Amino acid sequence: MAGAVSSLGVGSSILTQSVLDQLRKADEASRITPLDLKIADMKDRTTAIGKIDGWMSDLSSAASAMASKTLYTERSAAVTGTAVSVTADANTDIQSFSLQVISLATKEVNESGLYTTKTDPIATAAGTMNLNIGGTDFTINYDGTTTLDDLKNEINKVAGTKVNATVIQLATGDYRLFMSAVDSGDAQTMTLSDTSGFMSGTQLASGVGGMTTIQEGANASFKFNNQLISRASNKISDLVSGLTITLEKAGETSTVEVTQNRDNIVSKLEDFVTKYNTAYSEIAKMTHSSQDSKTMGIFSSDSTIKGMQREIQDMLTTLGGTHSLFSYGFDLDKTGKLSFDKTVFTTKMDESSSNVEAVFAGGTFTNTDTTTETLTGFFTDYKTGMDSYTKTSGYLDMFSTNMGDQLSILEEQKTKATERLDSKYELMSKQFAAYDSIISKINQQSSFLTQMISSANSTGN
């Protein structure tokens, strides 16, 4: 204890430090311990409300995902066969077709004549070459020190957007310059000509021993629904709006079916069910009423938290009006657990995917008699209901802020109570020391008188 006197009680053997400690312990039990219990409870409640906020936010996000209109415009492209691969953009028309790949598009590749090393000089003096690729001219500079490797670097520097140049060693003493067009197709022809006339050999000139075409650039040829079509690239994005088709294998045929991406919708629905069940069951534990303190929930007496739990369940049964969520594969058991039947949902999607979208996310719902009605969407409304709890300055935010304020007040009360006890027992320690000194002097005087009396008695005898 602050201010404790280590020799306290030496004189009296009564007013000891142990006595002060016992008195302080009793004071702390009545003044500090109740505050400690309240602080611990408030911290537990703050932690608990943080968990509830997390569960509720997860549930709100899951509802928001189902309310998103883009979810229902996603497309999936199913391909049978190995001829092509296909990706589909959102809102692409739902359709099916066949693709037969006759031949793949290729890039033109040219090869130079033989050089004994990659450092062989290619020219005797400074000059220029003209590289033409698909009708585009590039000027390639050289001089008497330019090597085969230098030429490769210069080509890539000047014309790298249209051609890839590299030097390859085919055998000992056999180095070649290879140029490959960046783009495929029969329009990407390449020619390399010396405009200055200072080449030191014929390896880069056209003809025998010089530049030769080892692979012709060619267009892809394929049939779309038996219609013959040609494209310069194997990656085609201008054939069917919203589809990117990649030709993979010649001589093969594939069928492609573009459909609504139901798997993603089902995944989001299942996620909503999971998030709902977690929120509902975990909040139920925290609001559980019981005589047993071990099972009694921390918010068992909080009517607002209990009301929030009821609300997230009640919205399942009340929102949507005549277009009940339970007509689309959802069900609640007697414990409040939500389940989802994919088979029922799939049937509804087969009947009218646009009606399912309207019920879930809002839009125009077409009745069996062809009349229509505009719906706001179950999950849109559910998200709105959740916002009152999860948004900034919503109930959970205010609840958490309020508990934080209460915790600060309790901690401040504890600090002040502790300071008061410190002051009280610092003073008592000094008082005990003073009393102990007085008692010690009295004891000394008493001992002296006793000795005098004893001495007088001995003399008298």
Provide the pLDDT confidence category of residue 16 given band limits of 50, 70 and 90: confident
The reported pLDDT for the residue numbered 434 is 76
Taking alpha carbons only, the member of 181, 183, 201, 200 closest to residue 191 is 181
The pTM of the full predicted model, rounded to 2 decimals, is: 0.69
Q: What is the pLDDT of residues 406-427, one digit of tens each?
A: 989 999 999 998 999 888 888 8
Q: What is the pLDDT of residues 38-74, one digit of tens each?
A: 898 889 888 989 999 999 999 999 999 999 999 999 9
87, burial (CB in 10 Å: exposed 0-12, middle 13-18, buried 19+) = middle
DSSP summary character for residue 211: B
For the chain, domain boundaries: 35-70+263-391, 75-105+220-260, 109-215
- Answer whether 162's CB lies under 8 Å from 134's CB: yes
Which one of 2.60.40, 3.10.620, 2.60.220, 2.40.230 gives the CATH number of domain 109-215? 2.60.40
Q: What is the pLDDT of residues 89-124, one digit of tens each?
A: 999 999 999 999 999 999 999 999 999 999 999 999
The first and second tokens of residue 115, run together, are: 């050089």
Provide the pLDDT confidence category of residue 147 given band limits of 50, 70 and 90: very high
Residue 5 pLDDT > 70: no
Mean pLDDT, the chain, integer: 90
Q: Is 163 helix (H, G, I), strand (E, B) or coil?
A: strand
309 CB neighbour count, 10 Å cutoff = 20
Provide the pLDDT confidence category of residue 7 given band limits of 50, 70 and 90: low
CA distances from 446 to 64, 96, 442, 443 (A): 90, 117, 6, 5
Give the H or E element holding residue 440. Answer: helix 395-460
The reported pLDDT for the residue numbered 456 is 67
Alpha helices in 68-201 (DSSP H): 148-159
